[in-house]
Amino acid sequence: MSAAHTLTDVTIRSIAVSEMSNNVYVLTSKSGGAQVLIDAADDSPAILSLLEEAKADTDAPAALAMIVTTHSHWDHVRALAEVTAVTGAPTAAGADDVADIAVPTDIPLHHGDVKTFGDFDLEVIHLRGHTPGSVALLYRDPSGPAHLFTGDSLFPGGIGNTGDDPERFTSLYNDVVTRLFDYLPDDTVVHPGHGDGTTLGTERASLPEWRRRGW
């Protein structure tokens, strides 16, 4: 059974798959039925069941409009080929990660892009460092806090792995600060690529510590 967040216009469902507990998310428009799947990480039967379950979140016929991959690492794309083949949905990923994803990317994503799915939008935020093309996706609920899907760029307690490379760490840290914490309010809900969620407000006080420790 998936976990669900019922918002004003959209329902967010999620499951964890694989030995690495990758989070897979599906957003469904309540009125229009458009769906977006974030990270077809592994276990295509479970992901297809998630999409089937999410049909109950709309009064309209549900239709998968896009599969977004937050970044190119292998554990986030293991079910991408099969889910794409079954659903026929177009794929999207950060432009700088496209070459590293075996499944062809139909829609390269760039910082500041806004993708519209019937009655809801997702804003693309490029966060450079975990991979060159890592992206976060921002949904602004008209009646509540924003919801931010960060892939492996931001977790409770720190930013994503940058391979002990100071240059990559600085790049990701600076993007997380300027493009997330300086841009969005504290009540923004963070949905990471693994593990539990958090809010920007919960993490904000730890930013200086993350900077000092370098990870």
Closest alpha carbon to 197 in 145, 119, 141: 145
* 34-66 pLDDT per residue, tens: 999 999 999 999 999 999 999 999 999 999 999
* CATH number of the structural domain spanning residue 79: 3.60.15.10
Say if strands 154-155 and 147-151 run parallel, antiparallel, or are unpaired: unpaired
Average per-residue pLDDT in the chain? 97
Q: How many domains does the chain have?
A: 1
Q: Provide the residue range defining the domain that includes 116.
A: 3-213
- What's the mean pLDDT in 132-136? 98
Q: Which pLDDT score, from 0 to 100, does residue 58 have?
A: 97
- Tell me how far apart the terminal alpha carbons of the chain are, to the nearest angstrom: 34
What is the pLDDT at residue 7? 96
Q: 0.95 exceeded by the pTM?
A: yes
- The C-alpha atoms of residue 194 and residue 178 are separated, in whole angstroms, by 23
Q: Please give the structure tokens belonging to residue 130.
A: 């975990």
Average pLDDT over residues 185-202: 98
pLDDT of residue 64: 98
Per DSSP, which regions of 51-195 are E strands? 63-69, 91-94, 107-109, 114-117, 120-126, 135-139, 147-151, 154-155, 158-159, 189-192
